[in-house]
Amino acid sequence: MTGSKAALAVLISGHGSNLQAIIDSCNKGEIAASIRCVISNEAKAYGLQRAQQANIPTNVLSHTEFSDRKLFDDALANLIDGYNVDLIVLAGFMRILGADFIKRYEHRIINIHPSLLPKYKGLDTHARVLSAGDKIHGASVHFVTADLDGGPVITQESIPVESSDTAETLQQKVHRIEHEILPRTIGWFADNRLRVVDGKVFLDGKLIDYTNHS
């Protein structure tokens, strides 16, 4: 860590409710972390206002201004490096990052994903859960690797799917658990409790394994 608290860059694209959960956890002293910057690829992301209200520096880096993914990734890395952070948190950041970017911050990027990974990588997870008739759903936090939504899972939490659920109600329920597991995971990172060895995650030396989740 660069200081007594883990320094975070939080990357967003939209509403920023997960960002808010991190801000609140930091402010309440629940986790030994502080947000150095919030970066959005969307100028209209509401999360930028949340950051400004919390006096956190914000930056907009629009992918539309770059002719290819690599140039965007390089500009993003330059921006992040100016803040000297320990951990990059993808909190609803809807851009795919290239392999070079990910390698540069190996084991220092985490992502929140709205499904019980390895099920339902990608988009529209709530609708896909409903069409499959699944009885449980949930959210996962994982380390980011070049395999999209396929990096090792650090933690996940599940919710029951009720017959009355719609994609919208599932989204609300999943959001609620996301707001618990994302700050909790950042707290583990900040307390130096996580290790990645050969692509496997260890918490306090104990292997975390969600690969056989069904």
On whether the CB atoms of residues 60 and 49 are closer than 8 A, the answer is: no
Note whether 25 binds ligand GAR by CB under 6 A. Answer: no
Binders of ligand GAR among residues 169 to 188 (CB under 6 A) are: 175, 178
**Pairing between strand 109-113 and 136-143?**
antiparallel
Start-to-end Cα distance in the chain: 36
**Shortest Cβ contact with ligand GAR: which residue?**
92
User: What type of residue is 128?
Assistant: R
> Which one of 3-11, 52-60, 110-118, 158-166 is the stretch in contact with ligand GAR (CB under 6 A)?
110-118
Note whether 107 binds ligand GAR by CB under 6 A. Answer: no
Backbone φ, ψ for residue 78 (5° rounding): -60, -45
Write down the residue that tokens 């991190």 correspond to.
22
As annotated, the active-site residues are: 113
Which of 7, 10, 14, 38 touches ligand GAR (CB under 6 A)? 14
Q: Which is nearer to ligand GAR, 1 or 119 (CB)?
A: 119
Name every residue whose Cβ is closer than 8 Å to that of residue 213 and which is 6 or more positions away in sequence.
Answer: 116, 117, 118, 119, 156
The rounded distance, in Å, linking the Cα atoms of 201 and 192 is 13
Could you give the string, one character per residue 39-78, with x where binding to ligand GAR holds by CB under 6 A and - elsewhere? Answer: --------x-------------------------------
As measured in angstroms, the least distance from the Cβ of 63 to ligand GAR is: 15
The H or E element that residue 113 is part of is: strand 109-113
Note whether 158 binds ligand GAR by CB under 6 A. Answer: no
Name the residues that contact ligand GAR, by CB under 6 A. 12, 14-18, 47, 91-92, 112-114, 175, 178
